Structure 1
Amino acid sequence: MGNKQIPYRYDVVGSFLRPAELKKARQEFNNGKITKQALTEIEDQEIIALIQKQKELGLHAVTDGEFRRRWWHLDFIAALDGITVYDFQTTAFGITTDAQGTYVSDKLAFPADHPFLEHFRFTQKHAAPLLAKQTIPGPNMIFLDSLILSKHYHEKPVYASIEVFKQDLIAVYQQAIQAFYDAGCRYLQLDDTSWGGLFDERFRTLITNNGLNPDQLLEDFQEVTEQALANKPKDLAVTFHFCKGNFQSHWLYNGSYEKIAKNLFSIEQFDGFFLEYDDDRSGGFEPLQHLKDQRIVLGLITTKQGTLEEPAVIKERIQAATQFVPLEQICLSPQCGFASTQEGNHLSEEEQWQKIRLVKTIAESVWDDA
């Protein structure tokens, strides 16, 4: 284990389908039928069982499956100082559904008692001797959703300028990264779909309509991320996961990675990048030529549905990627989590585990050091 590099040859993005027992408990809690304490106890049990399952399947690092969250991103952001959450209905993913949004309503700050720190300690305790991998949304999720595209924010701006906001956002993430490190975290992943808004034509128009230049924003996104990672401890591995949106097997963004690849891959503090490559919407592997010496984790196995991919086809795609990046730098994973939200994607738990086994089997047949 000691000589294995993060990200691993076979790895996972982080979220897993919520078991029926957990969904039921969350519903009962929402309806006022059980206490927060009772819900937490069920979450604890289900996370312990999930970690055990990941260990049995041979993963090198395990997660809590994001079992305590409603959303992959919002629960973390909502617990920051200066953020307000609101409810709304959305049709963004091609289905009408209840959703929540956030906006910057006051000066941003990272609270020392952020609940995710305690969640991490719990996961780590039960993950031992394996590493616990912690996932949090990247800073630009707040930049794009809670400020730039936020009607609420524009009606009542908090910051004198984007520059002042950026400094606070950077400080929040520097403190968060240090806090997780102090809690024992050695594998942190920033999940950040906001970069998709910089190449999707519809979102570029929305950004322009809000008075900003999406190409300038690309520079801002890079700067914020680099500065957030500026004080990263040497022995903390940090990866970046990007997909084009994933909600109950539906997606959000269209377009090629080419527009963001140079800026994204220039962020040298990242140890690796998880990129979605499960269908034609992802485009070709050409943007990978901009990679420096970080690892690239190809998300070639879809989590959107349960049909198992053909190993030969996946190996061919890995081979195709080697035209642009050495095999030595390539790893394999599912293209996203299995449940970016508590509802989860349209596949069964058994299909989910088969996908994980498939990733491991293929990786072990491709790389000697898997």
Structure 2
Amino acid sequence: MAGDTLLAVILGLIDFLLFLSGALSEGGLQPQPWFVVIPVDALMVAPLAFRRKSPLWSAYAILLISVAHTTLQLGISGVAALAMSLYTIVVYVGRKQGLIYLGALIVLNTVQMLTDQSSTWFGETLFTLFGLALCWTLGEFVGARRAYDEEVEARLHLLETERDQATRIAVAEERGRIARELHDVVAHSVSVMVVQADGASLALPTNPDLAGRALQTISETGRGALGELRRLLDVLRNDDGDGEPRVPQPDASALAELTERMRAAGVPVELEVDDDLADLPAGVSLGLYRIVQESLTNTLKHAGTGARAEVRVRRNGETVEVLVLDDGAGRAKQLEGASAHAGSSKKTPRLAVAGGNGLIGMRERANVYGGTLEVGPAPAGGWQVRAVLPVRLAP
């Protein structure tokens, strides 16, 4: 309102100066006394201060006061205020209200010209029409520019919202990845430690050496799990790269070490791995390792005592196949027996088998790289996990 108030003051001063110049030139005689001129001039320009805040109220107040101002011929502020009111309505309200106000102005000017019966009515009419057309055109241009600016601002706000949403999605995906990694680490390591602790407690009275080796395995597994947990939790911190270097993520080359740990935990594992896995993408290699780790952990937890496992990793051209089999009598055969007792089909759809976080994590790891995963009872008994991952990731 500061700029509009200044504009109103300037127009009022112009009318006041015209009044003074007329008074001086005519020896102090004026057709209207000062106590009429000054209040009407002030009322004429006062609504201009509110033309942006209340465009319609200001415009119609100016229209009403202009009748007295023009009739008394008190200066130019009436014409200027009417022109600015038309411009303001077109810019800030819209074309419909602008047309109504323009019609009111034309009617008012027509009535005034018929009443005055001036000899210069034709020139005044052309001047009025030209002025109204100019104000309307200027209002259309500024209104379109203002609408364009609002649209750009709205799009920028939408882009910022989408960027924030994309950031939240990325954070959620990263947290999901970390949760899967933590599940893999904790489930595997704790399962090994529990089995070794039970074995140590049973062997301690009769075979202290075997109990000692079990306790050593518990210690090594726990230290390894703590190291992996510390490294994964470091991802959640905003480190600047200082401090101790982080241990690389495991990959296909660490499968031999993984199977050795499982053998030490009491599950005989037979490993067959092709030699040409060194050039696998880092994500695919990590996913392969985690799928094998989760599968062997499930064997340790559910297959029962005396179960054996086989891990086969073969590369077939542009894909790598992972197959983990066990001959356990635990959860696998229970599910198979329940399925047969319920009268289901002979071949159970493996992808329909429900699972906890471990199976969900394996499926997500396979899907994220465009691979497939089949989990379910093996045809010859036991449990099997089969995953096929692409060697080359799609761009």
TM range (shorter): under 0.3
Highest CA radius of gyration, 1 or 2?
2
TM-score (structure 1 length as normaliser): 0.21
Instruction: Name which structure has the greater RCO, CA cutoff 8 Å, separation 6+.
Output: 1
Higher strand share goes to which structure?
1
